[in-house]
């Protein structure tokens, strides 16, 4: 409760329009208060563990997702320090287990948080490996957190897991902490029946590891990839990340070739790959430029971009079929590979092979067509117009050009399904062969575009649907945006009845009609009032009950919701809260758990009984608690509460609960909604 007053008031003071110097003072109060709160929570956690009162709550959970959540939590600090986070999750290790995800998250948060705190340059590596286990449907899991930080002297390794212990030397004094984090971590690991250890070398880094056994949930079948995906090209400059990804791809059964730069990747390796995985920040080229170079070189393999941040992964890159954010999860990697679509097979030859003999063209011409060896480009001589085929000269681009934004994107099969594509005369040398049109009925059933490099990009030549002529394809930027068809007269679309129709409008005097007599009738006819939009006075104010015995906390709460359009009522204890609930019928209740007399849990139980007795609808009750460990949280919610907020209270969390609980017949309670 005291910390709720200190931090809560500091948060409110920070929003009160302070000058620069005052803002520094307030920020210092807030950060110091948060540090003190962390110490208090650590002491409470450790005392509970020492008293053997800590209980594991077993449920199904996703281990890899828990690890990723913790890495996401420290991502801003990693980015600020310029550190790289790498996740190495055993490709054959299941992800769903039964255990206590909150406690495992707490262990990982302590270990990963320490690694980030004591590392100024380099990387952070989280490695999860499955080990053989004697019991069926149980998996032994080995988790290590490795860093390139300051390290720990050998004579201090035995004491790092002791309570209130910190390594005392000149390098460590710059880092604040309680000395309880690792002690709590050891207690939690041992509570799960596991063990924990540390290896470290000063100036090189540290590796904290722990091992636990958990029951496996669901199938343990290894992931399977499409059968056509056999060869992968991995393009990445970072050696460690590239090594881990190479190992994971090889474990999936792929033949992996690696390159550190775009230049190495385009020396012929890319042409042999079935899939390409490339960093979005290569030393010699950006992502979009690299894909454009691949396409210009005739590479048809799909490209998966490996982005350095989640923001970069969400930004589309032309030509990439997927983008994965680092640290790259095993689930995302396998999922992206399983969703790949196989590129169309190599274009078949459209002309007879070299050994084909000449055949008569027809009785009317009396001539013969000379056989054209494969690789020749004399398409007009081999297929004259008498065959019903019109040769197309390669020079004009209007018939074959596609908008530049589609040049490096994967082919849209749906867009070209109705238009057969002219096959190349030689699949081995498509750039030298003139495109040849064939009759629609003779066109191959597969839509296989001929790739024509033009100014460094690839463009598709589409065969016509007729055998006589080719209709130029209109570019998307040439399509007029307005008046593509003749405009339709307005009266034909929505005629408005005239209250005083005139047979000849042109002959009617201008000053004769009276606007006041006509307009009301026209408006009433064309725009009747909408009954579904009630007027503002029909809405009521939202009613909120806050049960809180501490006057300081009441003041903090009232200031946090000061700008809201609500009716706020306070109750000083559980009994008063129950009586007020019955008369006020609030839309939302904030219930302090620790109050004199009737506490918040008992008050909530009686509120639920009252709702059942009177047939009232369920009212959302949110617990306010000073310290909620995992077991405490579940125990609190078991008394009928819907959610809980931990003190010190945060304004965004309170406003979020108010916004979510707004009934349909109440005015918008939040300022931005008004």
Of the listed ranges 149-163, 253-267, 439-453, the one predicted with least confidence: 439-453
pLDDT at 580: 96
Average pLDDT over residues 101-120: 91
Instruction: Kindly report the pTM of this predicted structure.
Output: 0.55
User: Under CATH, which architecture does the 539-673 domain have?
Assistant: 3-Layer(aba) Sandwich (3.40)
List pLDDT tens digits, range 55-89.
Answer: 888 999 999 999 998 898 888 888 889 898 999 99
pLDDT at 112: 93
List pLDDT tens digits, range 253-302.
Answer: 999 999 999 988 887 788 889 999 999 888 888 888 999 999 888 898 99
List pLDDT tens digits, range 17-28.
Answer: 888 888 888 887
- Share above pLDDT 70 across residues of the chain, in percent, rounded to a whole number: 67
506, pLDDT greater than 50: no
Cβ proximity of 571 and 577 under 8 Å: yes
372, pLDDT greater than 50: no
Cβ proximity of 351 and 372 under 8 Å: yes
Crossing angle of helices 101-117 and 181-191, in 10° steps, is 150
CB count, 10 Å around CB of 473? Answer: 18
Question: What is d(CA 85, CA 71) in angstroms, rounded to the nearest whole number?
Answer: 8
User: Under CATH, which architecture does the 59-215 domain have?
Assistant: 2-Layer Sandwich (3.30)
Task: Return the higher-pLDDT residue of 574 and 355.
Answer: 574
- Share above pLDDT 90 across residues of the chain, in percent, rounded to a whole number: 34
List pLDDT tens digits, range 217-231.
Answer: 977 677 889 999 999
Mean pLDDT over the full length of the chain? 74
Question: What is d(CA 268, CA 297) in angstroms, rounded to the nearest whole number?
Answer: 9
pLDDT at 402: 40
pLDDT at 585: 95
- Residue-range domain boundaries for the chain: 2-50, 59-215, 224-340+396-413+448-467, 539-673
Cβ proximity of 130 and 141 under 8 Å: yes
pLDDT at 346: 57
pLDDT at 16: 82
How far CA 448 is from CA of 300, 346, 409, 432, 637, in Å, comes to 12, 8, 15, 17, 61
Average pLDDT over residues 404-411: 42
| Identical topology for domains 224-340+396-413+448-467 and 539-673 | yes
Model confidence band, residue 553 (pLDDT cutoffs 50, 70, 90): confident
What backbone torsions phi and psi does residue 386 show, to the nearest 5 degrees? -65, -20
List pLDDT tens digits, range 513-523.
Answer: 444 444 444 33
Q: Which CATH superfamily is domain 224-340+396-413+448-467 in?
A: Response regulator (3.40.50.2300)
Strands 123-131, 138-147: pairing kind = antiparallel
pLDDT at 628: 55
Reading the block at residue 476, the tokens are 């998307």
Average pLDDT over residues 540-552: 92
601, pLDDT greater than 90: yes
436, pLDDT greater than 60: no
List pLDDT tens digits, range 322-332.
Answer: 999 888 888 89
List pLDDT tens digits, range 469-489.
Answer: 334 444 444 433 434 444 444
pLDDT at 134: 74
Question: What is d(CA 51, CA 629) in angstroms, rounded to the nearest whole number?
Answer: 15
Model confidence band, residue 345 (pLDDT cutoffs 50, 70, 90): low
Could you say which DSSP state residue 445 is in? Answer: S
Model confidence band, residue 44 (pLDDT cutoffs 50, 70, 90): confident
List, in order, residues 6 or more apart from 239 with CB less than 8 Å away. Answer: none
Residue bearing tokens 């691949």: 294
pLDDT at 655: 94
Cβ proximity of 81 and 120 under 8 Å: yes
pLDDT at 329: 87
Task: Return the higher-pLDDT residue of 649 and 255.
Answer: 255
List pLDDT tens digits, range 173-214.
Answer: 444 555 678 888 998 999 999 999 999 989 899 999 999 999
């Amino acid at each position: 409760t005291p910390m709720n007053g200190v931090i809560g008031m500091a948060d409110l003071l920070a929003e009160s329009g302070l000058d620069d110097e005052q803002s520094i003072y307030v920020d210092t109060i807030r950060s110091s208060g948060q540090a003190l709160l962390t110490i208090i929570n650590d002491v409470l956690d450790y005392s509970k563990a020492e008293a053997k009162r800590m209980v594991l709550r077993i449920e199904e959970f996703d281990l890899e997702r828990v690890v990723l959540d913790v890495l996401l939590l420290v991502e801003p600090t990693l980015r600020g320090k310029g550190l790289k986070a790498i996740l190495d999750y055993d490709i054959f290790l299941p992800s769903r287990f039964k255990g206590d995800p909150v406690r495992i998250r707490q262990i990982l948060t302590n270990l990963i948080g320490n690694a980030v705190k004591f590392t100024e340059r380099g990387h952070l590596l989280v490695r999860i490996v499955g080990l053989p286990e004697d019991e069926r449907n149980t998996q032994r899991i080995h988790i290590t957190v490795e860093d390139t930080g300051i390290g720990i002297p050998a004579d201090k390794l035995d004491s790092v897991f002791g309570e209130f212990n910190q390594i005392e030397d000149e390098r460590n004094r710059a880092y604040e902490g309680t000395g309880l984090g690792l002690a709590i971590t050891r207690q939690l690991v041992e509570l799960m029946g596991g063990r924990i250890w540390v290896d470290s070398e000063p100036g090189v880094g540290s590796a904290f590891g722990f091992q636990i056994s958990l029951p496996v949930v669901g199938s343990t079948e290894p992931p399977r990839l499409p059968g056509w995906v056999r060869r992968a090209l991995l393009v990445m400059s970072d050696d460690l990340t590239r090594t881990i990804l190479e190992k994971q791809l090889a474990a999936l059964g792929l033949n992996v070739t690696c390159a550190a730069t775009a230049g190495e990747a385009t020396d012929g390796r890319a042409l042999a790959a079935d899939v390409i995985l490339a960093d979005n920040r290569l030393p010699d080229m950006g992502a979009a430029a690299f894909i454009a170079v691949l396409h210009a070189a005739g590479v048809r393999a799909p490209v998966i971009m490996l982005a350095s941040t989640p923001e970069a992964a969400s930004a589309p890159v032309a030509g990439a079929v997927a983008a994965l954010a680092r640290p790259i999860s095993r689930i995302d990697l396998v999922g992206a590979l399983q969703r790949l679509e196989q590129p169309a097979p190599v274009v078949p030859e459209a002309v007879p092979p070299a050994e084909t003999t000449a055949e008569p063209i027809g009785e009317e011409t009396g001539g013969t067509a000379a056989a054209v060896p494969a690789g020749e480009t004399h398409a007009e001589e081999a297929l004259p117009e008498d065959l019903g085929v019109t040769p197309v000269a390669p020079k004009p681009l209007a018939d074959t050009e596609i908008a530049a934004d589609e040049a490096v994107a994967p082919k849209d099969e749906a867009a070209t399904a109705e238009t057969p594509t002219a096959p190349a005369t030689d699949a081995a040398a498509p750039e030298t062969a003139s495109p040849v049109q064939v009759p629609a009925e003779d066109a191959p059933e597969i839509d296989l575009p001929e790739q024509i490099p033009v100014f460094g990009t690839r463009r598709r030549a589409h065969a016509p649907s007729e055998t006589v002529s080719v209709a130029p394809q209109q570019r998307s930027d040439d399509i007029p945006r307005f008046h593509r068809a003749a405009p339709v007269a307005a009266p034909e679309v929505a005629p408005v009845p005239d209250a005083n129709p005139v047979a000849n409008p042109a002959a009617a005097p201008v000053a004769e009609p009276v606007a006041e007599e006509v307009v009301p009738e026209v408006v009433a006819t064309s725009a009747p009032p909408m009954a579904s939009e009630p007027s503002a006075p029909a809405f009521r104010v939202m009613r909120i009950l806050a049960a809180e015995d501490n006057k300081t906390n009441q003041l903090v709460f009232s200031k946090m919701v000061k700008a809201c359009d609500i009716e706020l009522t306070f109750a000083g204890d559980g009994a008063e809260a129950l009586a007020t609930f019955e008369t006020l019928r609030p839309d939302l209740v904030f219930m302090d758990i620790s109050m004199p007399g009737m506490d918040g849990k008992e008050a909530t139980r009686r509120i639920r009984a009252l709702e059942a007795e009177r047939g009232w609808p369920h009212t959302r009750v949110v617990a306010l608690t000073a310290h909620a460990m995992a077991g405490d949280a579940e125990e609190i919610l078991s008394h009928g509460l819907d959610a809980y907020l931990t003190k010190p209270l945060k304004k965004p969390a309170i406003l979020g609960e108010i916004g979510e609980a707004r009934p349909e017949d109440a005015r918008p309670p939040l300022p931005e909604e008004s």
